[in-house]
């Protein structure tokens, strides 16, 4: 198995896999154009013969925070270490950028605990994520995801102040 940065030719596989889990709200639906525009955020896992196994993306908010997004493996790749290898590559990439805080929202926190992530009690502690995605999420008012962070929770936000994020979370 290989893990590498995605190329534009991987966009179709990424688009299909991510959107296969968007119908029930597991992942946010992504437009093909959005995947193409952001393909450099993605890292993929593939078999030695080049078969696409899964992907994950690292979204950079700024020097204070990055987010692991759209991390998903094909059914045949689950349990074979592909997800862990993609996640490790994304964490390494954040560290290469000098980012010490990496967040994510998930329904499977046990997987991420093994990589040094911990649960965040108050989602409003991650206002950049809330202002970027939560407002457009179909589960905004019934969120069942666990907010997690690796490293310290940033004291700054570039997309909105923490008190506004707290109000958005309370509305949910």
Residue 39 belongs to domain with CATH number: 3.40.630.30
Q: What is the mean pLDDT of residues 75-82?
A: 91
What domain count does the chain have?
A: 1
Measure the CA angle with vertex 94, ends 29 and 11; round to 5°: 35
pTM across the whole model? 0.84
| pLDDT value at 164 more than 60 | no
Q: Which of 26-30, 129-133, 145-149, 151-155 has the highest mean pLDDT?
A: 145-149
124 and 130 Cβ atoms separated by less than 8 Å: yes
Domain extent at residue 50? 2-171
Alpha helices in 53-96 (DSSP H): 82-96
Q: What is the mean pLDDT of residues 16-22?
A: 89
- Return the higher-pLDDT residue of 116 and 136: 116
CA 113 to chain centre: 15
Strand stretches in 7-161, DSSP E: 42-46, 52-62, 65-73, 102-106, 118-119, 146-150
């Amino acid at each position: 198995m290989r893990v590498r940065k995605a190329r534009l030719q991987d966009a179709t596989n990424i688009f299909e896999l991510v959107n296969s889990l968007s119908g029930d709200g597991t992942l946010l639906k992504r437009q093909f154009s959005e995947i193409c525009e952001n393909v450099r955020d993605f890292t993929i896992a593939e078999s030695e013969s080049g078969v696409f196994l899964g992907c994950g993306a690292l979204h950079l908010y700024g020097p204070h925070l990055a987010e692991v997004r759209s991390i998903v493996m094909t059914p045949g790749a689950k349990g074979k270490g592909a997800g862990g290898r993609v996640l490790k590559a994304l964490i390494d990439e954040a560290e290469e950028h000098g980012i010490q805080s990496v967040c994510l929202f998930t329904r499977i926190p046990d997987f991420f605990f093994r990589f040094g992530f911990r649960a965040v009690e108050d989602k409003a502690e991650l206002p950049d994520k809330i202002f970027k995605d939560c407002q457009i999420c179909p589960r905004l008012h019934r969120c069942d995801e666990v907010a997690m962070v690796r490293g310290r929770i940033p004291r700054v936000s570039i997309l909105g102040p923490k008190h506004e994020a707290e109000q958005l979370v309370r509305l949910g």
